[in-house]
């Protein structure tokens, strides 16, 4: 929400007022979603065995178009390229989606309103997820997070027996993971 608010403050041009209203509506929805999720988690923690907390479906690769399009709310223009990847196990799909979400959040925090590329491909080693940007927007002030996002992804990928890398790439930054998965079709 902080990133979305920061992006809304920087909107300029003839449609700036309209864009700010859209950004505020998006921030409101994000806050409502976060509150719902927090209540659900608190209910699960209070009564782990008999919670009536609503569970939402686990995200899959099918959600990636919506996730990449949603990055526009932070000013990031994300383009998704997806080769046919065949069948992918649920655990690998959840991890791939988490990688894309975290990487796009980091682009918004550290590079600002810039283009980003999200690429999905099947290679012999498994599902390959790559997110690139070309570096920070001119004059952009980075908004660091807690610093645990990439470390958490590294642990998730390692738990699957995969490879994870995150670092400078050209003028920008790259997050890339290879997720072993024998569920090809």
pLDDT digits (tens, 9 = 90+) for 133-146: 999 999 998 887 77
Structure tokens at 101: 């979400």
pLDDT score of 52 more than 60: no
Average of per-residue pLDDT across 140-169: 89
- pLDDT attached to residue 36: 65
Break the chain into its structural domains and give their ranges.
1-56, 58-185
Mean pLDDT of the chain: 85
CA distance 144 to 141: 10
Q: Residue 185 — very low, low, confident or very high, per pLDDT cuts 50/70/90?
A: very low
- CA distances from residue 151 to 42, 94, 171, 173 in whole angstroms, order as listed: 25, 17, 22, 16
State how beta strands 172-179 and 115-123 pair: unpaired
Could you tell me which of 105, 102, 118, 113 has the C-alpha nearest to residue 77? 113
Question: What is the CATH topology of the domain spanning 58-185?
Answer: Heat Shock Protein 90 (3.30.565)
Average of per-residue pLDDT across 125-133: 96
CA distance 121 to 166: 18
């Amino acid at each position: 929400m902080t990133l979305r608010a920061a992006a809304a403050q920087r909107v300029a041009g003839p449609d700036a007022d309209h864009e700010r209203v859209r950004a505020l509506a998006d921030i409101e929805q994000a806050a409502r979603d976060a509150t719902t999720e927090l209540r659900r988690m608190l209910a699960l923690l209070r009564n782990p065995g008999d919670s009536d907390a609503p569970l939402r479906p686990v995200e899959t690769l099918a959600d990636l178009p919506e996730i990449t399009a949603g990055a526009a709310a932070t000013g990031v223009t994300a383009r998704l390229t997806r080769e046919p990847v065949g069948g992918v196990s649920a655990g690998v799909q959840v991890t791939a989606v988490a990688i894309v979400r975290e990487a796009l959040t980091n682009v918004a925090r550290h590079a600002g309103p810039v283009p980003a590329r999200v690429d999905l491909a099947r290679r012999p080693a498994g599902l390959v997820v790559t997110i690139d940007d070309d570096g920070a927007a001119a004059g952009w002030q980075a908004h660091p997070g807690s610093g645990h996002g990439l470390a958490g992804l590294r642990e998730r990928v390692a738990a699957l027996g995969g490879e994870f890398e995150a670092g400078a790439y050209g003028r920008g930054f790259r997050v890339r993971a290879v997720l072993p998965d024998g569920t090809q079709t």
